[in-house]
Structure 1
Amino acid sequence: MADAARTAALEVLRAVRSADAYTNLALPAALKRHGLSGRDAAFATELASGTVRRQGLYDAVLADCVDRPLAKVQARVLDALRLGTHQLLAMRVPSHAAISTTVSLVRSDVGPGAAGFANAVLRRVCEHDLDGWVDRVAPDAGDDLVGHLSVAHAHPRWVVEELSRALGSRQDEIGALLVADNEAPGVTLVARPGRSTRDELPGEPTAWSPYGVHLESGDPGAVPAVRDGRAGVQDEGSQLVALVLAAAPLDGPDARWLDLCAGPGGKAALLAALAGSRGAGLVANERQPHRAELVRRALAGSPGVLGIVTSDGTAPPWEPSSFDRVLVDAPCTGLGALRRRPEARWRRQRADLHDLVPLQRALLSSALDSVRPGGVVVYATCSPVLAETSEVVTSVLASRTDAELGDAAALLPGVPDCAGPLPGTFQLWPHRHQTDAMFGALVRRLPA
C-alpha cells in the first residue's frame, strides 16, 4: 500500500491537471483529508510542488524512457511517473522506495498491467542522475542557450526569453533566477499595524519590511495573531508594495485610500491597518464576487475599512478624483511568483499578454481618474515582464497630460539593487531579494 503522503501528493497533481486547481490551494485540503502534519505534510508538500515545478524536465526524461509518445500514456499513470521521477532525481528518497511506492500507487489506482509499465519506466529513470539527464535531454548550451535553460530549469522557452529580457543588462543572472524559481518558498508573516506587532510573531525579522518575519517552521494558522486575523501570510515583496503607497508624499488631505484590485485581500489588509493608524480609511474593490468575499474575510475586524465594493475596476461606480492614494495590483501573468505558483509556468502562454496588457492599461488609467489631483497611484505587478511593467506605464503616461512618474525606488532606501526598468520604478527579484519579483511604479496625478 502506498503511504498517505504520496497519495495526497498524487491527488494534488491530478487536481492541478484535470481541474485547473492551484497547487498551494489544493495542498491544504489534501493534507487535511489524509490527516498529515509535521514531516509527513512537509514531504507531501515538496513532492507535489516540486513535481509540478519541474514537470517540463521530467516529461523530457520520461519521453526518453518510454516506447510511445507521452500523449499516449494514460494521464493517471503519467501523474504517478512524474511523482516517482521527482523522488528519484530531486529528493533524498532511496531508489527502491521511490519505485516501489510509485508502483503501488499505480497498481491500486489503475491496475497490475500499468504497474508493470511504471516499474520498467522508473528503472530506466534510475540510469542517470539529474545532471546526467539534463546532459542527455537538453539542447547543448553552446548551440541553444535558451533551449538548454528551458529544459534544465523546467521553464517554457518563452518564459526564459521574457525573464532574460526583463533582466536587461544583467542577463547573466538568468540562470540564478531560474534556480530561485525552483526553490520552495519560505513562509513570511506580516503584522498588521495597530492590531499586532512583529514581536508577537515567531520567526526571523524580514530584512526590509518592519512588519514581517520569516516563519522557520510550523503551521502559520496556528500562530494566534494569524488565527485571529490580526496578522497574515504575505511575501515581503507584497508588503513593500503596500509600504511604498503608504509612504509616498502627497499634497493635501490624506483620508481616503483605494485598493482597486483587492482580491484576495492581503495587501488590502495591510493598507487598511496602515490607513487606520493614521485616521484614514480604505475602500477595497474587487470585480469577482468570490474574491470579494475573500477580501471581506481578510479585512474583518480592521478599523481602517471604509467599504468593500464589488465592481469592474475599469468602470467603477464612484466619482472621479475620490481618493488620495490608490493601489493598482493588476492582474498579470504571475511570472514573478513561480516559486509559490508552480503551475503558472505551464498554464500561461505568451498570447495571454494580448488580453492582459490592455486590461492593465485600462486599470492604471482608471486609477489615475479615481485619485484626486495631488494624489498618488502605485501600479504593481507580480510579473517582471516588460510588456506588463514599463511598457504599460510608459503607454498610459504618454496618453495623459495630468500625470507624471514619481520615484518609488527612493521609498525603499534600504533595499539594494532594486532599480526597475524605468527611472524611479523598482523591481524585486527572487534571486536577489528572496521575494517574489514584484514591480512597482509611483505615478502622481498633477494638480489642475
Structure 2
Amino acid sequence: MTSEQGGSAGRSNQGAGRSNQGGQGNPANQGGVRRRDDAGRERNRGTTRNRTVSAPGERTRAADPARLVAFEVLRAVSSDDAYANLVLPARIRNHHLDRRDAGFATELAYGALRAQGTYDAILSRCVDRPITELDPAILDALRIGVHQLVAMRVPAHAALDQTVGLARAVIGAGPSALINAVLRKVAARDLPEWLTELTAGLTDEVKIASITYSHPEWIVRSLRQALVAHGRDVAEITALLEADNAAPVVNLVALPGIGSLEEAFDAGFTPGPLVIDSALSSGGDLGRLSTVREGTVRVQDVGSQLVARALAGTELKSGRDGVEERWLDMCAGPGGKAALLAALAAEKGAWILANEPTPHRAKLVAQALAAVPEDTWTVRTGDGRDIGRDHPASFDRILVDAPCTGLGALRRRPESRWRRQLSDVVELGPLQRELLNSALDAVKPGGVVAYVTCSPHVAETIAVVDDALRRRDDLELLDAGAALDAASLTGDLGAGNKNSPVDTNRMTAQLWPHLHQTDAMFLALIRKL
C-alpha cells in the first residue's frame, strides 16, 4: 500500500511533512536513526513498497489554475445550466491563463463534457453507490480526473495528484479521499479495456455506440435515421459520432467589404478551404485580434457562412430589376448570420430587417450589426410568426434559422447532448412550421426563403419542408446543394440530398461534421411562384 492509500499513514506522513517544511530538517527518532530518506519519504521497514512521485508533504493541496478553470466550467454547466462556450473564456481571463494552460483547460472541460456518458458508465463500476447519489461537485471532479486518465496524455500520478489537490482546495479533505480511491480504480484500465468491459454482452448497436461514443441512445438513433433520410449510408454513424467528439476548429469570417483577415493570418490562422473570407485556427485568445473586438471579423462556423451566402447568391424572379431588395432574418439572435447577411446586402445595395423576439438578444443583434453601415439594416423586436401577417409579400430574401435541438453542433456545445430530450423535437415542431409559414407569407412572389436548422433530425428538416410544400401550391423547391456548391470555393461539396427517399425533398442539402468539417447545417431553398 502506498502512502497515499492509507488513511492513518497519510495523516502521520502529512504531519512529518509539515515539520520538514517548518525548518526542522529530517527528524531523527530515538537512537538517532533517520525515519525519512533524502527525498522526504519514510524508509522501508524490511519490505518493498511502491512509492509515489511526490513526498507526502509535497502532495498537491492547491488547485492547479487550468484544472480549476475546467472544474468551474463543469460546475456552471451542471448547477446553473450555463453554456460552456460562454463560461470558459471568462474563466480563462479571470485566472489569467497563458495560451498553453488555456488550451489545457479547454480540452479538459470540453472533453469531460463530451464524454460524460462514457465516464459516468466507468465511474458506476468504481463507486460503491449510484453516482446520482454523489455530490454534484464530487462527480464533476471525478469526470475531470477520468478524462485526464483515459483520454489525455497526462501521467496517471499527475492526474491523480492534481485532481485530488483540486478537490482538497475547492471541495474538502473528506471528498478528496473518495476521489483518490475512485480514480485509482479507474486508472487500473485504459479506455479500450473499459469499453470492452462496459459493452460486454451487448448486441444492440445503438446501445454499444451510445456507450462507446458518449451520446444518448435517442440521439444515436436519430442520427442514424437522419443519415439515411438525407441520402447517406447508415454505416457513416461511427464517423459522425467520432466527429462530434473531436475538438472543433475555430472558424472566422471577415464581413465582406468591411473586414480583413490579414491580422488573423499574422496570428497563425490559415485560410479556410471551403468558403471565401474565412480562416481557421485550433484556438487561442481571439480577443487579442483587434478586428474581432471591432466586429469586422467574427467567429462563425463555416456551415453558417455557407448557408447565408447560398441565400444571398440565389437568383430571384421578382421582375424588380434596379429596385432595392428587402431582406429578412426572421430569427436573428444572437446576430452572427445577420451580420454576414447585412454585409452581403450592403454589397448588393439591399436592406435587411433583423428580427429577434427576445429584447436582450435583440441588443446582441444590434451589437453584431454595428460594423455594417447603419443605413443597411434595422433591428426589430417581435415574434417572427407575426411578420407574415403584418408584412405580407414584403421581402425578397428571407432566412428562417429556426430554433431547433442543435444536434448538428454537439461538437461545439458538448453539454447539449445531455440536456436535450426527444420530447424537445416534438415541442419545437409546431414553432418551426409556424415560422416557415410566416416567412412564406412574407416573401414576395419570385422571392426566396431559406429554411435552415443546425440539426439533421428528420422531424426538424425534411418533415417541416415537406409539410409546407404539401399545404401550398405556390411554392417551388430549389436546388440547395447547387446553391451551396456555388457559394463554396470547391464548387462541389456533395451536400445535396440527391438520394433522399422523400421525393419532394431531393433538392434539400445537408452538411455533416464528418464530411465537411462543419456543423450539421440543413438548408432548403423555397421560391414563391
Asked if Structure 1 and Structure 2 have the same fold, meaning a TM-score greater than 0.5 normalized by the shorter chain, the answer is yes
The percentage of counterpart residues that share the same residue type is 54
- 2:98 aligned residue: 37
- Among 289, 292, 296, which residue is 2:362 paired with? 292
- Partner of 1:39: helix, strand, or coil? helix
Tell me by how many angstroms 1:402 deviates: 1.7
Task: Say if 1:201 and 1:76 are closer, same or farther in 2 by CA, change over 3 A.
Answer: closer
Instruction: State the one-letter code of the partner of 1:175.
Output: T
Distance 1:218 1:306 in 2: 32
Query: Is the deviation greater in 12-21 or in 213-222?
Result: 213-222
Tell me by how many angstroms 1:201 deviates: 3.6
Instruction: State the one-letter code of the partner of 1:434.
Output: Q
Q: Is 2:515 the counterpart of 1:424?
A: no
Alignment deviations for residues 279-328 of structure 1 (CA, whole Å, 9 cap, x no partner): 11111001111111111110003126331001011113742111100000
- 2:137 aligned residue: 76
Distance 1:220 1:72 in 2: 40
- 1:158 aligned residue: 218
Q: Is 2:271 the counterpart of 1:205?
A: yes
Q: Is 2:440 the counterpart of 1:440?
A: no
Alignment deviations for residues 42-83 of structure 1 (CA, whole Å, 9 cap, x no partner): 111111111000000000000000111111111111110000
Instruction: State the one-letter code of the partner of 2:284.
Output: G
Q: TM-score, normalised by structure 2?
A: 0.82
Larger radius of gyration, structure 1 or 2? 2
Tell me by how many angstroms 1:162 deviates: 0.4
Verify the 8 A CA contact 1:139 1:148 in the aligned structure 2. no
Alignment deviations for residues 123-180 of structure 1 (CA, whole Å, 9 cap, x no partner): 0000110111111113556x11110000100000000000000111411010010000
- Partner of 2:384: helix, strand, or coil? coil
Distance 2:171 2:294 in 1: 44
Instruction: State the one-letter code of the partner of 1:236.
Output: V
- 2:285 aligned residue: 219
Tell me by how many angstroms 1:104 deviates: 1.4
- 1:305 aligned residue: 376
Tell me by how many angstroms 1:13 deviates: 0.3
Distance 2:146 2:421 in 1: 26
Q: Is 2:182 the counterpart of 1:110?
A: no
Distance 1:182 1:370 in 2: 39
Task: Say if 1:309 and 1:131 are closer, same or farther in 2 by CA, change over 3 A.
Answer: same
- Among 66, 69, 73, which residue is 1:12 paired with? 73
Tell me by how many angstroms 1:216 deviates: 4.5
Aligned length: 445
- Partner of 2:227: helix, strand, or coil? helix
Distance 1:198 1:423 in 2: 36
Verify the 8 A CA contact 1:377 1:442 in the aligned structure 2. yes
Distance 2:111 2:162 in 1: 17
Q: Is 2:328 the counterpart of 1:258?
A: yes
- Partner of 1:65: helix, strand, or coil? coil
Verify the 8 A CA contact 1:188 1:233 in the aligned structure 2. yes
Alignment deviations for residues 246-299 of structure 1 (CA, whole Å, 9 cap, x no partner): 011111335111000001111000000000011111110011111111111100
Verify the 8 A CA contact 2:312 2:344 in the aligned structure 1. yes
- Partner of 2:108: helix, strand, or coil? helix
Distance 1:289 1:99 in 2: 46
Distance 1:214 1:150 in 2: 30
Distance 2:410 2:182 in 1: 29
Instruction: State the one-letter code of the partner of 1:2.
Output: A
Query: Is the deviation greater in 150-159 or in 197-206?
Result: 197-206
Instruction: State the one-letter code of the partner of 2:496.
Output: A
Task: Say if 1:398 and 1:13 are closer, same or farther in 2 by CA, change over 3 A.
Answer: same
Q: TM-score, normalised by structure 1?
A: 0.97
Verify the 8 A CA contact 1:191 1:201 in the aligned structure 2. no
Verify the 8 A CA contact 1:208 1:415 in the aligned structure 2. no
Q: Any residues of structure 2 matched to 1:69-218 within 5 Å, and which?
A: 69-138=130-199, 140=201, 143-168=203-228, 169-199=232-262, 201-202=264-265, 203-218=269-284
| Structure 1: gaps of 5 or more residues | none
Distance 2:526 2:325 in 1: 18
